[in-house]
A and B are shown apart, each in its own frame.
Chain A
Amino acid sequence: MTGFVPAPPAAGCRNAPVLKERGQREVFCGLTGIIWLHRKMQDAFFLVVGSRTCAHLLQSAAGVMIFAEPRFGTAILEEKDLAGLADANAELDREVDRLLARRPDIKQLFLVGSCPSEVIKLDLHRAAERLTERHAPHVRVMNYSGSGIETTFTEGEDACLATMVPTLPATDERQLLMVGALPDVVEDQALGLLEAMGVGPVRCLPAHRAAETPGVGPNTVVALTQPFLNETAAHLERRGARILSAPFPFGEEGTTAWLWAVAQEFGVSPEVFERVTEAPRARARKAVAAAAETLRGKSIFFFPDSQLEIPLARFLTRECGMTAVEVGAPFINKQIVGPDLDLLAEGPVIAEGQDVDLQLDRCRAARPDLTVCGLGLANPLEAEGLSTKWAIELVFTPVHFYEQAGDLAGLFARPVRRRAILAGLEGAA
Chain B
Amino acid sequence: MKLTVWTYEGPPHVGAMRVATAMKGLHYVLHAPQGDTYADLLFTMIERRNHRPPVSYTTFQARDLGADTANLFKTALHDAFDRFHPQAMIVGSSCTAELIQDDPEGMAATLDLGIPVIPLELPSYQRKENFGSDETFYQIVKTIARPMERTAHVSANLIGPVGLGFRHRDDIAEVTALLEEMGISVNVVAPMDATPADIARMGAAHFNVLMYPEHAETAARWMEKTLGQPFTKTVPIGVGATRDFIAEVAQIAGVAPRADDGRLRMPWYSQSVDSTYLTGKRVFLFGDATHVKAMARVARDEMGFDVVGLGCYNREFARDIRKLAREFGVEALISDDYLEVEQTIEALAPEMILGTQMERHIGKRLGIPCAVISAPVHVQDFPARYSPQMGWEGANVIFDTLVHPLVMGLEEHLLHMFREDFEFHDDAGASHHGGAAKARAVEAEPDTDQEAAAAAAPAEGEIVWLSAAEKELKKIPFFVRGKAKRNTEKFALEKGVHEISVETLYEAKAHYAR
Contact = CB atoms under 8 A, between A and B. Distances in A.
- Specify which of B53, B57, B59, B365 lies most central, judged by the most chain A CB atoms within 10 Å of its CB: B59
A380 B99 CA distance: 32
Contacts of A94: 1
A66 B6 contact: yes
A52 B60 contact: no
Interface pairs A-B: 7 shortest CB-CB: A29-B35, A148-B35, A376-B40, A383-B50, A67-B361, A51-B95, A115-B96
Contact of B42 (A26, A60, A67, A149): A60
Interface stretch (B122-130, B251-259, B260-268): B122-130
A82 B126 CA distance: 11
Interface string B32-44: 0111111111101
B72 to A, nearest CB: 9
> For the complex, would chain A's binding face be called helix, strand, loop or mixed by DSSP majority?
helix
B125 A82 contact: yes
A202 interface: no
Given A52-B7, A53-B11, A375-B41, A357 B125 contact: no
B49 interface: yes
Given A24-B57, A53-B124, A73 B3 contact: yes
A25 interface: yes
B1 A24 contact: no
Contact of B51 (A23, A26, A59, A383): A383
Contact of A115 (B3, B35, B49): B35
A82 B99 contact: yes
A82 B96 CA distance: 12
B487 interface: no
B141 interface: no
B96 A375 contact: no
B44 A379 contact: yes
B49 A379 contact: yes
Nearest to B364: A67
B23 to A, nearest CB: 17
Interface string A50-86: 0111011101110010110010111111110110001
Interface residues of B, number: 56
A86 B41 CA distance: 35
Given A116-B95, A116-B96, A120-B99, A148 B34 contact: yes
A376 B37 contact: yes
A70 to B, nearest CB: 7
B54 to A, nearest CB: 11
Contacts of B4: 52, 55, 73-76
B444 interface: no
A72 B6 CA distance: 10
A49 B96 contact: no
B5 interface: yes
Interface string B1-44: 11111110111011000000000000000000111111111101
Nearest to B127: A52
A95 B3 contact: yes
A182 interface: no
Given A53-B10, A53-B14, A74-B4, 9 more contacts: A52-B128, A60-B38, A61-B38, A70-B5, A72-B5, A78-B125, A115-B95, A148-B33, A380-B50
Contact of A149 (B6, B33, B51): B33
Interface in A111-134: 115-116, 118-120
Nearest to B53: A376
Contacts of B358: 67
Nearest to A150: B62
A28 B38 contact: yes
Interface in B117-151: 123-126, 128
B480 to A, nearest CB: 26
Interface in A245-264: none
B1 A77 contact: yes
A40 to B, nearest CB: 19
28 contacts: A24-B76, A29-B33, A51-B96, A55-B5, A56-B14, A64-B361, A66-B6, A67-B358, A67-B361, A67-B364, A73-B4, A76-B1, A79-B123, A88-B1, A94-B1, A115-B35, A115-B96, A116-B99, A119-B65, A148-B36, A148-B96, A149-B65, A149-B96, A152-B34, A376-B38, A380-B49, A380-B52, A383-B51
A31 B94 CA distance: 17
Contacts of A299: none
Contacts of B95: 51-53, 115-116
A99 interface: yes
A79 B125 contact: yes
A27 B10 CA distance: 19
B495 interface: no
Contact of A78 (B1, B7, B361, B364): B1
B83 interface: yes
